[in-house]
Amino acid sequence: MSIVCDFLVIGSGIAGLSFSLEAAEKGEVCLVTKRAIEESNTRYAQGGIAAVLAEGDSFEAHIKDTLIAGAMLSHERVVSLCVTEGPARVRWLQEQGAQFDKAHGAGEGSDLDLHLEGGHSARRIAHTADMTGREVERALVAAVRAHKNIRVLEEHMAIDLITLAKYGGPEVCAGAYVLDVATAKTETVLARETVLATGGAGKVYLYTTNPDIATGDGIAMAYRAGAECANMEFYQFHPTALFHPQAKNFLLTEALRGEGAVLRTTRGHAFMKAHDPRAELAPRDIVARAIDYEMKRTGAEHVLLDITGKPPGFVEERFPGIYAECKRWGFDLANEPIPVVPAAHFCCGGVSTDLEGRTTIPGLWAIGECAHTGLHGANRLASNSLLEGLVFGHRAAIAMKRAESRQIPDVPDWDAGEAGTSDEAVVITQNWDELRRLMWNYVGIVRGNKRLRRAARRIALLQEEIAEYYWNYFITRDLLELRNIATVAELIVGCASARRESRGLHYTLDYPELDQKQARDTVVKRGVPAYLRGR
């Protein structure tokens, strides 16, 4: 039996939740999410949401900062609309119950305390201490759970999109096949409109700040269904993740550097000024590359982040979550420099969309980190991601509310064919490790033609094995995630190979200079190798 709804939303981060709340005013929403509803990248966001909220700040300044960080590849129209719609979206979040820190001495409903982060020319980051994502997720989940028009299916993982072209119809998306993880049964969810809000793909790399859900499922599903994807070579590495074998690359927010934290080599030398006049507050691509350079130069396994110069109590009060987490791993952030390394953090590319989140397949939309809207260009400005999820969640909901209703077709249920139970699950762990390691070593912060060719060859081999396993055995969440990170890896390597210059996050030893003629997006579609397309 199929589940039928008006809007199928895949993913419960800031984009999926905020979209659902608005769309539910028009029709029935079915929200599927592959783990508990709160589990998402959103939940772990520390720094906050960038928006022009202070008197001395301006839309022009936020637009300029975004374009500079994006190495002039961002789409100006998208930047302008995200920035100008930002303040209203932050207020909407407050109306949903999210509490942001207030400026000292400010009264009820008045000024927010705003943080400064790298690449920003003004304080404009609204935050809840250093646990902004947790507060945003809390407020939105509570509102979603209270809404009678939203049905939530937790522990349900979308496997693939249903496109009518596959059944001899027009190229329209009509929902998705979804794995109920508890029963291992596959359900057919049919919808008038299907929205991908599946977040990023940090797990494609060995070291990442992202939680386990970040396996690029939406991007991989859209690509398999024939949708266009773009700019996948621009994977952002956050400069400062905690270096500790068991800490799973816990993030140390950029706001620490905004408050004066200094990056030092293990011998104590402050090195950022030698790399960029903006020093610790240069955009992330520059800081991450500088750290990579210093680690390679000195042979050290990490560098140090030092915020010991602050008055007593400052760090504990302003960054309570990070202070406590560092303590848990044996470090006193207020009184000693902390070992840090860069780690994969944010996918700037994704499924291509228009200004309202429509993909190139009718009936299929993409919002949040899985989408490529054009906002981030070659490098995302800090704290512009939660902003993008909110703005596009809202814009897509408005567009869908205005659109005419599509018919819900009848499609066959999932066919498991001759699949059996596997006694070789080790294939999954082996390929999972190999893929993530090769992406880290060959397609990381610094790239080159030879490394990209090596990576492409190995990914193709791994994909062959994964496909064989996929068709012969019953599917599991682990297998689906492995298949998806392999697809995302293929797209990153394909796009990186097509770009013959260094720009923003894509730095290659073979083409170290920026080339104005390549100020174009890289597009890729199933059956069409990646290429740069003019605007």
Mapped onto helix, strand or coil, the DSSP state of residue 533 is strand
Distance CA 426, CA 20 (A): 38
Asked if residue 350 binds ligand FAD (CB under 6 A), the reply is: no
Q: Which two tokens stand for residue 173?
A: 């998306």
Q: Which of residues 116-135 bind ligand FAD (CB under 6 A)?
A: 132-133
Q: CA-CA distance, 325 to 304, in Å (whole number)?
A: 17
At 490, the amino acid letter reads: E
Name residue, tokens 């990186």: 496
Name the residues annotated as catalytic.
284
Instruction: Spell out the residues 6+ positions from residue 456 whose beta carbon is closer than 8 angstroms to its own.
Output: 490, 493, 494, 497
Q: Residue 83 or 466: which CB sits closer to ligand SIN?
A: 83
68-82 burial string, b = 16+ CB within 10 Å, else e? bbbbebbbeebbbbb
Q: Is 375 left (phi over 0), alpha (psi -120 to 50) or beta?
A: alpha
Among 12, 74, 253, 522, binds ligand SIN (CB under 6 A): 253
Are 206 and 440 spatial neighbours (Cβ–Cβ below 8 Å)?
yes
44 lies in the site for ligand FAD, by CB under 6 A: yes
Site stretch for ligand FAD (CB under 6 A), options 5-13, 68-76, 92-100, 258-266? 5-13
Residue type, 473: Y
How far lies 305's CA from each of 116, 251, 266, 381, in Å?
17, 12, 10, 20
User: Is 144 a residue that touches ligand FAD (CB under 6 A)?
Assistant: no
Tell me the β-bridge partners of 352.
372
Q: Does 12 bind ligand FAD (CB under 6 A)?
A: yes
213 binds ligand FAD (CB under 6 A): yes
Of 2-10, 69-77, 181-189, 250-258: span binding ligand SIN (CB under 6 A):
250-258
Rounded least distance, CB 413 to ligand FAD, Å? 18
Can you tell me which of 41, 46, 74, 353 binds ligand SIN, judged by CB under 6 A? 46
Verify binding: residue 90, ligand FAD, rule CB under 6 A: no
CA 28 to chain centre: 27
Is residue 13 part of the contact set for ligand FAD (CB under 6 A)?
yes
Per rule CB under 6 A, is residue 281 in the interface with ligand SIN? no
* Residue number, nearest CB to ligand FAD: 13
| Least distance in angstroms from the C-beta of 382 to ligand SIN | 4
Q: Is 199 in the site for ligand FAD (CB under 6 A)?
A: yes
Helix (H) or strand (E) holding 352: strand 350-352
Closest to ligand SIN by CB, 379 or 522:
379
Q: For residues 522 and 498, give the distance between their C-alpha atoms in angstroms, rounded to a whole number.
A: 7
70 binds ligand FAD (CB under 6 A): no
Contact 371/350 with Cβ under 8 angstroms? yes
Which residues between 340 and 399 bind ligand SIN (CB under 6 A)? 382-383, 385
- Enumerate binding residues for ligand SIN (CB under 6 A): 46-47, 253-255, 382-383, 385
- Enumerate binding residues for ligand FAD (CB under 6 A): 10-16, 32-35, 39-42, 44-48, 132-133, 157-158, 197-200, 209-210, 213, 217, 251, 346, 368-369, 383-386, 389
